[in-house]
Amino acid sequence: MRSRNVRLRRLVMSSMIGVVGAALVGVAYRAELMSYVTNTHQGLSALYATYQENKQLKKIANLAGIRAIRMWQTETDIAELNKAKAAKKQLPATYAYKVARIADAAADTIQLDLGSLDGVKQNDAVLSLDQYFVGMVTAVEKHSATVGLLNTESYMTNKGIAIRAENKASTFGIAEYDANAERLAIKKIPPDALIKKGDVIETLGGDTSRYRPGLKIGTAASIEVSPMGLSSEATLEIPEFPTSHDVFVFIIAGP
């Protein structure tokens, strides 16, 4: 009987130890789980704080970049306006001209910020601030104008510009677009009116011409006899336009 009671007590004690052990394991698991959740929450909070900080830094950097761009644009505008002021003094006094900003540029046209309300008209000539003839106004709206660029096939197709060498009244030729070379060339130079390499080429003008006389186009780069042998031809070097530095142009009223 006594040994039976001993076994019973041992069984009860063993059961109690198992229950207590299981409880302790459960408590430890819950504590570990709570610690994991707490650490995860803290980690996510720190990550979100870092994200917000980076977002704010990015915003500050973007604003600084915008300010830098605006400052560069302002400095460029001032430099170009000073250049226009200096170039203005060299334009013939007979020119009626305006200074316009290039609002947009494409492969064969540019858009200007002046239009019909500013007195701009179709067939007005456009000069770079370096005083090169770069295009003609082809379309006009109230507040804007489209300019066809001289050294492009789209503008020069089926067109020819009578030219001469600067300070050489006896010279003559026709500036046309050479589709094979993809550039302007001087055609139909008479044997007795030869243009030489290095000559500055300008518009001839005339009573029936849409182009004013004396507009500088470029420089004769090379001369060769035409395939038929009856006249000469010349390649024409023209300054690149527009470049990233070109902000303003002169609009010259038509003849």
Residues 174-178, mean pLDDT to the nearest whole number? 93
| DSSP 3-state of 108 | coil
Residues 18 and 59 in one domain: yes
Indicate whether 61 pLDDT > 90.
no
Q: Assess whether 80 and 107 both reside in one domain.
A: no
Question: The domain containing residue 135 runs over which residues?
Answer: 97-150+243-252
**Structure confidence by residue, pLDDT tens digits, 197-249:** 999 999 998 777 889 999 999 999 988 887 666 678 899 999 999 988 888 99
Residues 30 and 112 in one domain: no
Identify the pLDDT of residue 79.
Answer: 76
- Phi, psi of 6, rounded to the nearest 5 degrees: -65, -45
Q: Which residues pair with 109 in a beta bridge?
A: 148
User: Would you say 167 and 97 are in contact if contact means Cβ atoms under 8 Å apart?
Assistant: no
pLDDT of res. 93: 76
pTM of the model: 0.69
Of the candidates 255, 246, 238, 247, which has an alpha carbon nearest to the alpha carbon of residue 132? 238
| Residues 124 and 203 reside in one and the same domain | no
CB atoms inside a 10 Å sphere around CB 137: 23
Q: In 3-state terms, what secondary structure has residue 2?
A: helix
